[in-house]
Amino acid sequence: MFLIFSIKMKAVINKSFSEVKTTEVIVAKFKEKRETQKVLKFLKTTCPDLMLPHLKLLRKFDDVLEVIIARAEVWPSLKESVIESKVGCILYDFRIVRVSSRVPQVQQQYEVANELWPCSFHRNKLLSALIDGTFFSEIELQFLFSVWEKKMLPIVTYMDAQGAENTIVECPNMLTAIACLKTQWVVCLTEIQVRDHPLAHSVMVGVDCVAKIEGGGAHAYARNHISNGIVIETDLTNENSEDSKYASKSEYLCTNFVAILTHEPCAMCAMALLHSRISSVIYSLPFEQGGCLGSKRNIHLEQNFNHRFNVFKEFKTKELQDVLGCKT
C-alpha cells in the first residue's frame, strides 16, 4: 500500500515480544530416520508431558538427525529409563541444545526461535500490527497528521513562545488532544494548567473535559483558550448534541478514543488515561525521569490492571524538538 503520509512512530510493547526466551533440552543424534521413529514413539508413550509442544521433535542438523529427548531439568530422572529402554541401544550421542521456551507470537521472534530449533508459530495479529506499523489505517494516519499539524503544532509553538509550563518536573506534557479515529472528531485539546490547580496536568484536564460529555467532570478550569485567540477546543456544548459525532458518544469516557500528547505522561496522567478506558495513546517525546508509558514503567501493559491500551512513542518527534529548540 502506498502511504501518502509516512508517520513514523514506535509501539511501546512488552520487551518479551522482541526477544526470545530460551531453555535447554537434551538432544540425541541418529544416523537413520527409522531409528528416530522408534524413539519418538517411545517418548510419546513414556513421557508425553515432558516435552515442549511448540517445538518440532526432529530436525536435520549438519546431515545428522537430531531428536529432542527431554527438557534438560528432567533429564537426570529420565536418563536411566531411556538408556535402559529398548531404544536406548540406538542412541549414541547426547548433547544440550538451547531452544525457544515459548511459542513465538511475532515474525521477528519466530525467525530467531526457528533458527535455534524448528518450531510452530502462532501469529498474534495485534502485536504484529503494532510492531510492523500497520495498526492504524492510512485514513487514520492522515487524521492524526492533521490533528498534529493543524491543531496541536500552532498551540505548542505559541505556548513555547510564551514560556510554557512544560518545565514542571512532575509532568512535561504540554498539550493533549483526545479524538475519535472512527468519526474523526477532535473531542478536546487541553493545555497544562498547573497555575490554576497543581493537579491540572494536560491529560487530567482532557479527561475531565470528556467526562463533562457524560454530565460529569470534576473541575471548572479557568482557561478554556489561550490568550492569543487560539481556542482550546472542547466540543462539549449543548449545540453539538444533535451532531452525529456527539450522538455516537455512548461508550464510557475515552473508550475508542485516542489521546495525542506532546510528552510521555507522569504516573497520575497515565493512570487517568487507564481509568478513562482510553484505547490508544500517542506521544512525541519521552519523559525519562518519571514517564509511565515506556520510560519508568509500562502502566498500559501491567497485568494487574483491568484495562490495557496501546501506546506509541516518537510521533512527530523531530517537529516538536524543532519547536522546543530540543528542550526535552
**Positions in the binding site for Zn ion (CB under 5 A):** 171, 201, 266, 269
**Residue in the shown chain whose Cβ atom is closest to Zn ion:** 171
Quick one: 44 or 197, whose CB is closer to Zn ion?
A: 197
C-alpha cell at 206: 482532557
Give min distance, CB of 192 to Zn ion, in A.
8
Quick one: 155 or 171, whose CB is closer to Zn ion?
A: 171
Give min distance, CB of 268 to Zn ion, in A.
5
Give min distance, CB of 266 to Zn ion, in A.
4
Quick one: 26 or 174, whose CB is closer to Zn ion?
A: 174
Give min distance, CB of 160 to Zn ion, in A.
18
Give min distance, CB of 148 to Zn ion, in A.
20
Quick one: 8 or 195, whose CB is closer to Zn ion?
A: 195
Q: What is the spatial distance between Cα 285 and Cα 152, in angstroms, rounded to a whole number?
A: 14
Give min distance, CB of 29 to Zn ion, in A.
59
Quick one: 104 or 206, whose CB is closer to Zn ion?
A: 206
Quick one: 106 or 171, whose CB is closer to Zn ion?
A: 171
